[in-house]
Chains A and B, each alone.
Chain A
Amino acid sequence: MQKNYITLTVGTLLVIIFGFMLFTFQVRETEVAIKTRFGKAGEANLGPGFHFRLPWPVHDVHIFDNRIQSSEWTFEETGTKEGKPILIKVFVTWKISDALKFFNSFSGDLAKANVVLEGKVRSAQNAVIGKYAFNNLVTTNAKDLKLDAIEVDMKERVGADSADNGIEIIMVGIKRLGIPESVTSAVFERMKAERQARIQEIEAEGERQAKTIKAEADLEANKILAQARAQAIQISGEAEAKAAKYYEVFKQNPELANFLFNRKALEGLLKENSTLILDSNTPPFNLLTQPSTGKAAE
């Protein structure tokens, strides 16, 4: 009896597993699926998870990669608005937006989708680049640079063309820009000539700047010194003005004042390293010859 249970359990498990294989299917997080009924479109855009189905030939399940795809093609020459040749390579990021349309357009084949997309991208690329001037592609003037607008324009064109194929264009980006070989040699020569011309400019400019800086500094220094001298004179003048009130005192006895000023001047004059030649009558030397002169004075 126990053996029957085991057999039954194993058998049941096998039937369940087999049943699951026949009647269910999984769609991974990275995928999207469609379910056809006798080859005709049934449920589309089945998202990740567990789904029921009837065995083939009733239901058939097609699963596609729903992740963002990156495609890029060759480096191709096209022309700008003014007819200048330019080489461009773009990359496109896209994903399946409608699995049924994608299946109907490409039988679910990513490689086929890439081929069709290449044609659409080339067409958009030529049309869009032809609308813009060369200096919208490369320029040092930020206002003229239109790379972002060019990419958005290409994205919108490719997106509009691809919507019926169940493809959503997420981004079109420029991956490379170039110029024809014949132009590059001329560019090299121009780069050399520009540098050579700039050398002389830079030398002269450096010399001019250095001189200007020095002259400005000298001017500033002289100005500072002049201001300082003026300030010193002003301080001195203020001091003289303040001193004037003291000079009033000397008016009380001008003779004494005169005597004191002279004595001060004399002392100041003969303060250091003086050689004096005096008459012997000059006090105090008169004491050496006329000792009584001092008494007489008293």
Chain B
Amino acid sequence: MSDDEKQTEAATPPGEKAPTSGIEVMDDARTRALTEALQSSFKVVRVIMVILAVAFFGSGITKINNNKQALHLRFGKYKETLQPGLVWAWPYPIDEIVQIPVNENRTITSDVGWRTEDEETPQNSTSFQPTYDGYTLTGDGNTLHVKAEMNFSLDEKSGAAIKAYEFGFSDVTGFLESVLDNAVYHASAGRSALDAYTLQSDLRNAIERRVKKTIGGIDSDLRIKINSLTLDVTVPLDVKPAFDAFLKVQQESQQKVATAKADAVSAIANALGQAKVIEGGGQTAANILLTSVRAEAKAFAEQRPYYEDNPGLFERRLVAEAMQRILTNAVDVFYLSGRTARIWLNRTPEKRRLKEGGAP
């Protein structure tokens, strides 16, 4: 017997006579039908409740992807930072999981010093309308167009950076853009237009330093890693031809100086080379002199006894040896034999050269 039947039976007082009329029978049937309907409804409600309970607890399962970390809040208060993986937390409103892309590269742009009110790029004009044209003031009181685009990611180590990034600011992107604008104006205000225009790496470094300093001064937990900072810098278009002409002349002048420096280096290198040769030559000559004198002294000492023994013979012998060597090397030797001049041909006969197209 079901609960409903028991209830129906229990609802009839004992000893009371059971209804016998047709109306009573009909009422009884309706009651049973209603009871059965209610019974079915309870079953449906029960199933729905089970499904809802499963769905409620299941909704607490969250998958945190590899490039993300998550902040776990309990009753709205930060509890911990969760690493990538499958996590379970009590469903809202008890717990809340806020996922944040950690490795994502984010880009912000400062173009208040670049664009006009309705154009993306600076426009040519003979003056700047402050509320329309974007420009920066430089240290020499001139004007310049500067646009900075900063790509950054969170420098995450302990979860503090993503907490600061997500929960620290009502509009973190707007804040960072303001910081970048501030850095652009600071960097421009401290250098001449020409320096900012020509030494853009210095300008970029100054902007980057300023951004880091400002962010560090406001919230030490908001650590960002600047991946790149690119600049577009140009002078007002109206004065650009004058700047370009100047830069051309400057480049030529620098080229001239560079050439002079290269020539100077070359001249000094040549001089050093020549100096080595001169010094070497001196050393060689000295060595030859010493060797020669030493040899002559030795030869003198060896020959002296022979000379002293018979000076005439000694001299004639040496003269004859010398004549032999001289005459061997001489090209032409003429000697006079009585009145007839004779020639001693000692040279190697020249070979006849072949004339072009002719016979030898």
Contacts and interface: CB of A to CB of B under 8 A. Distances in A.
A151 to B, nearest CB: 8
Contacts of B281: 232
A48 B76 contact: yes
A140 B194 CA distance: 11
A263 to B, nearest CB: 5
B25 interface: no
Given A29-B167, A67-B168, A195 B334 contact: no
Contacts of A202: 246, 249-250, 253
Interface stretch (B83-91, B305-313, B352-360): B305-313
Given A175-B182, A177-B189, A210 B257 contact: yes
Interface residues of B, number: 128
Contacts of A243: 289-290, 293-294
Given A49-B75, A229-B278, A137 B218 contact: no
Contact of B304 (A222, A242, A256): A256
B78 to A, nearest CB: 5
B322 A263 contact: yes
Interface in A173-200: 173-182, 184-185, 187-188, 190-192, 195-196, 198-199
Contacts of A12: none
B207 interface: no
A194 B86 CA distance: 66
B178 A147 contact: no
Contact of A236 (B142, B282, B300, B326): B282
A72 to B, nearest CB: 7
A267 B327 CA distance: 10
Contact of B268 (A207, A220, A250, A289): A220
A164 B174 CA distance: 27
Contacts of B285: 232, 235-236, 239
B58 interface: no
Interface stretch (A35-43, A100-108, A117-125, A272-280): A272-280
B34 interface: no
Contacts of A260: 296, 299-300, 303, 318
A206 B260 CA distance: 10
A56 interface: no
Interface stretch (B12-20, B99-107, B147-155, B232-240): B232-240
B276 interface: yes
Most chain B CB atoms below 10 A, which of A141, A190, A239: A239
B178 A72 contact: yes
Given A202-B246, A253-B308, A28 B128 contact: no
Contacts of A134: 141
B254 to A, nearest CB: 7
Contact of A228 (B3, B193, B279, B324): B279
A174 B267 contact: no
B333 interface: yes
Given A225-B274, A297-B316, A280 B268 contact: no
Interface residues of A, number: 123
Contacts of B68: none
A205 interface: yes
Given A29-B76, A210-B257, A139 B189 contact: yes
B333 to A, nearest CB: 4
B249 A203 contact: yes
B37 interface: no
B236 A247 contact: no
Contact of B139 (A3, A138, A270, A280): A138
Given A49-B77, A202-B250, A207 B279 contact: no
B257 A192 contact: no
Most chain B CB atoms below 10 A, which of A49, A87, A216: A49
B286 A236 contact: yes
Nearest to A217: B264
A140 B139 contact: yes
Contacts of B143: 179, 184, 187-188, 191
Q: Which 4 A-B pairs have the closest CB atoms?
A: A232-B282, A206-B253, A239-B286, A217-B264
Interface of A: 1-3, 6, 10, 26-31, 47-50, 65, 67-70, 72, 75, 87, 91, 93, 134, 137-142, 145, 147, 170-171, 173-182, 184-185, 187-188, 190-192, 195-196, 198-199, 202-203, 205-207, 209-211, 213-214, 216-218, 220-222, 224-225, 227-229, 231-236, 238-240, 242-243, 246-247, 249-250, 252-253, 255-257, 259-260, 263-264, 266-267, 270-280, 282-285, 288-289, 297-298
Given A138-B139, A192-B239, 12 more contacts: A29-B163, A48-B73, A138-B140, A177-B189, A180-B130, A196-B242, A199-B245, A202-B250, A206-B254, A222-B271, A231-B275, A246-B297
Interface of B: 3, 42, 46, 49, 71, 73-78, 93, 112-113, 126-131, 135-143, 163, 167-171, 174-175, 178-179, 181-182, 185-186, 188-193, 195, 214, 217-219, 235-236, 238-239, 242-243, 245-246, 249-250, 252-254, 256-257, 259-261, 263-265, 267-268, 270-272, 274-276, 278-279, 281-283, 285-287, 289-290, 293-294, 296-297, 299-301, 303-304, 307-308, 311-313, 315-316, 318-320, 322-327, 329-338
